[in-house]
Structure 1
Amino acid sequence: MSHHVAARIARLFVYPVKSCAGIEVREALLTETGFDLDRAWMVVDEAGNFVSQRELPRMALIRPQLKLHDVVLRAPGMLALHLSIDTVEEPVRVRVWDDEVAAYDMGAVAAQWFTDFLGRKLRLVRFDPEHQRLSNLQWTGGAEALNQFSDAYPLLVASTASVDLLNEKLRAQGKPAVGIERFRPNIVLEGVEAHDEDRLELLHVATDEGEVQLKPVKPCARCPIPNIDPATAESDPAVADTLQGYRRNDVVGGAVSFGMNAIVVEGIDRTLRVGQAVSADFRFD
């Protein structure tokens, strides 16, 4: 079957710790909650509520690295923190947005590391894989799409053309260009026009193990995080201000949107790789 849109995967990102820096990868295993180890860990305050770059922009400077059995976290002025992927401590209940979920505390050493670097009493937790946290069924059309600690959906899809258009507008104002890393996508497409991702139906990805099908379900309403330079953790409102001029989206109540939240329809345990072909049809509604 031929589709109207022919694209390819240009970049892939995994974010092991919610709101910390991402890791660009050449390939990523697709699980029922999105990419393997994506948002598997989260930083919480003393009340068990998640914290993010919204209130703690220095989280952008915490850079994870995936090893065979460990996740290694590095930050300026800090010794590296090694987390064993298969080790947790006592069970806890934590809150991410409106959801209270089961998790595991990662212990005193990790808690002190985050507390020292971010200047607030914090702890690190790991998502309990036995817990089922669902995306909003109204947006998924009733499909039960699972998440770990992502904001609300398993995957975020964006395109190189979308950030290129933003950068054209920034440069026209004498502002520096920005990287797509600010928008924290999992999958970056090339070969589509700017913001075509907003109106694509099912994405068909050809993998060695068979087809993967991903369904974009909701525009991603943006908070101030794209204003934060991931290299310095400094914020400049130019990005949000520019997007306000052309990306207000009535579908999400007039908020600025950039990228599409997506769910996994088919292809769990298959591997996405940079360069793979992606085809889709446009949605007309």
Structure 2
Amino acid sequence: MARVMDLICYPVKGCAGTSMTESLLMPAGLAHDRSFMVISEDGIFRTQRRHPRLALIRPAISADGTRLTLESADSTDDHGTVRLDVTTSASRRDVDLFGTSFQGIDQGDDVAAWLSDALGAPSRLVRVPPEHDRIADGLAPGPSGYADSSAVHLLSRASLTLLNRRMADRGGPPLSMNRFRPNIVVDSHNQEAGADADADWAALPHAEDRARRITIGGAELGYAKLAVRCAVTLVAQDVGARQGPEPLRTLAGYRRAASGGVVFGTKFSVLTPGKLSVGDEVSVTEWGDAEV
């Protein structure tokens, strides 16, 4: 009864996402997800935490991953569009992601100049090299590109509905799903809160927290950890700027994990690759205990 409602790929870490009707799920997540990363001149990754205007950069990548287009969604500037042929043969350079050193393939001066202008800070673009062997930690460790941690972020519509209801009780407006930048959004067909979790688990807010193994089509996901939320959730994705204390203020009141941190949504590793489509049934084959 739980179904895939949306599939979102973020080809460039920190930039806007693209909704898709179908996608291949690869060992490191949705095809091309977080394959690229914007960095400073000294190799440190750029993030909406400090550069919220990343949200206004809309990437589009060809199916084979050889062509990337970046377009500015900021109506107040004239950055336009930059197109590049993706290279995997250029020299590698050291990059820093949360204090851990990895390698990246520099994509050249043209896109670097475009990004530097769009963000107002010297920037370059790198791609995950083919030899990238990062394994993200968690209950089910797994390969990951330039994502913050595990390869796949899954969130249910019921969880967002509950959050928006709680914010409304405080006099706040609802937030859209893109504040949380999930890869897979699931929803229930019958929409009745209180349904049995095994039969229609997506009708229950935060039921995804307890899912330990999930099958979608022929693909299988393994639970890694809860998604700890940060200041990126304060950024309105359509304007590329922070807008107030929500949702962190409300989440702090009811979504603190036993291990610490404000959590919302769940991170998974890919156990079995496959093809995903909007409308696919999402089945939980193993449950665990909630950590909140």
TM-score, normalized by length of structure 1? 0.90
In structure 1, the partner of 2:15 is 20
Say how many residue pairs are matched: 268
Q: What amino acid is the match of 1:90?
A: S
Q: What amino acid is the match of 1:27?
A: E
Alpha-carbon deviation of 1:108?
Answer: 0.5
Relative to structure 1, the CA distance from residue 88 to residue 233 in structure 2 (aligned partners, 3 Å threshold; closer, same or farther) is farther
RMSD between aligned residues: 1.5
- CA-to-partner distance for each residue in 1:40-60, whole Å, 9 max, x for gaps? 100111210101000001111
Whether 1:154 aligns to 2:160 is no
Q: What amino acid is the match of 2:262?
A: V
Q: What amino acid is the match of 2:227?
A: C
Q: Which range moved further: 29-38 or 88-97? A: 88-97
In structure 2, the partner of 1:176 is 173
Does structure 1 conserve the Cα–Cα contact (< 8 Å) formed by 2:87 and 2:107?
no
- Where in structure 2 are the equivalents of 1:1-285 lying within 5 Å? 6-68=1-63, 69-75=66-72, 76=74, 77-86=78-87, 89-136=90-137, 139-141=138-140, 143=141, 145-191=142-188, 192=202, 193-206=204-217, 211-235=218-242, 236-251=244-259, 253=260, 255-266=261-272, 268=273, 270-280=274-284, 281-284=286-289
Q: Measure, in 1, the Cα distance between the counterparts of 2:267 and 2:246.
A: 24
Q: Measure, in 1, the Cα distance between the counterparts of 2:50 and 2:89.
A: 26
Q: Measure, in 2, the Cα distance between the counterparts of 1:161 and 1:79.
A: 37
Does structure 1 conserve the Cα–Cα contact (< 8 Å) formed by 2:88 and 2:105?
no
Instruction: Report SS of the residue matched to 2:251.
Output: helix
Q: Measure, in 2, the Cα distance between the counterparts of 1:203 and 1:197.
A: 10
Q: What amino acid is the match of 1:63?
A: R
In structure 2, the partner of 1:3 is none
Does structure 2 conserve the Cα–Cα contact (< 8 Å) formed by 1:88 and 1:126?
no
Structure 2: 5+ residue stretches without partners: 189-201
Q: Measure, in 2, the Cα distance between the counterparts of 1:231 and 1:9.
A: 23
Alpha-carbon deviation of 1:12?
Answer: 0.5
Q: What amino acid is the match of 2:264?
A: F
- CA-to-partner distance for each residue in 1:97-156, whole Å, 9 max, x for gaps? 1321121101111111111111111111111021201112xx235x4x111100111110
Q: Which range moved further: 76-85 or 184-193? A: 76-85
Q: Measure, in 2, the Cα distance between the counterparts of 1:170 and 1:146.
A: 36
Instruction: Report SS of the residue matched to 2:212.
Output: coil
Q: Measure, in 2, the Cα distance between the counterparts of 1:171 and 1:72.
A: 38
TM-score, normalized by length of structure 2? 0.88
Alpha-carbon deviation of 1:215?
Answer: 1.1
Alpha-carbon deviation of 1:88?
Answer: 5.7
Q: Measure, in 2, the Cα distance between the counterparts of 1:225 and 1:95.
A: 19
Q: Measure, in 1, the Cα distance between the counterparts of 2:113 and 2:148.
A: 25
Instruction: Report SS of the residue matched to 1:248.
Output: coil
Structure 1: 5+ residue stretches without partners: 1-5
Instruction: Report SS of the residue matched to 1:226.
Output: helix
Relative to structure 1, the CA distance from residue 67 to residue 21 in structure 2 (aligned partners, 3 Å threshold; closer, same or farther) is same
Relative to structure 1, the CA distance from residue 88 to residue 180 in structure 2 (aligned partners, 3 Å threshold; closer, same or farther) is farther
Alpha-carbon deviation of 1:238?
Answer: 2.1
